[in-house]
Amino acid sequence: MEMINATGRRKASVARVYFRDGKGKITINGKDYKEYFPLEYLRYNIEDPLATVEASSKYDIYINLSGGGVKGQAEAAKMAIARALAKIDEDNRPPLKAKGYFHRDARVVERKKYGKPKARKSFQFSKR
């Protein structure tokens, strides 16, 4: 198999994923994924799409993450991995789709408005 790539996005984060035949090594920005995401619930986002289609030890995965925070990056990587697995084999698509891994969560931070301290918060109102 040649290299397969896919992209995933969440909030301000972008994940570019590259799959290659291998033994299941996952590297994120040059580090092992367990080192990059020390928290278990963030690692779950990386592992679950692979476990869903039972491909945990079939491919070596390199992930390039940029922008946003750790949660957004983890969810962007989850989407990119699911897209790449669907590219590799079309039979992988239905179980991943059932778990909602192809759904792009479009919620982003609302911009700050002028005359206000935050997007919607107002200064304290004084009647007198």
User: Which pTM value belongs to this model?
Assistant: 0.89
Q: What pLDDT does residue 121 have?
A: 96
State the average pLDDT over residues 103-120. 94
State the average pLDDT over residues 88-107. 94
Q: What pLDDT does residue 76 have?
A: 96
* Total Cβ atoms within 10 A of residue 122: 10
Judged against a pLDDT cut of 90, whether residue 1 lies above it is answered with no
For the chain, the average pLDDT equals 94
Mapped onto helix, strand or coil, the DSSP state of residue 49 is helix
Q: What pLDDT does residue 32 have?
A: 95
* Total Cβ atoms within 10 A of residue 39: 10
Strand 59-66 vs strand 26-28: parallel, antiparallel, or unpaired? Answer: parallel
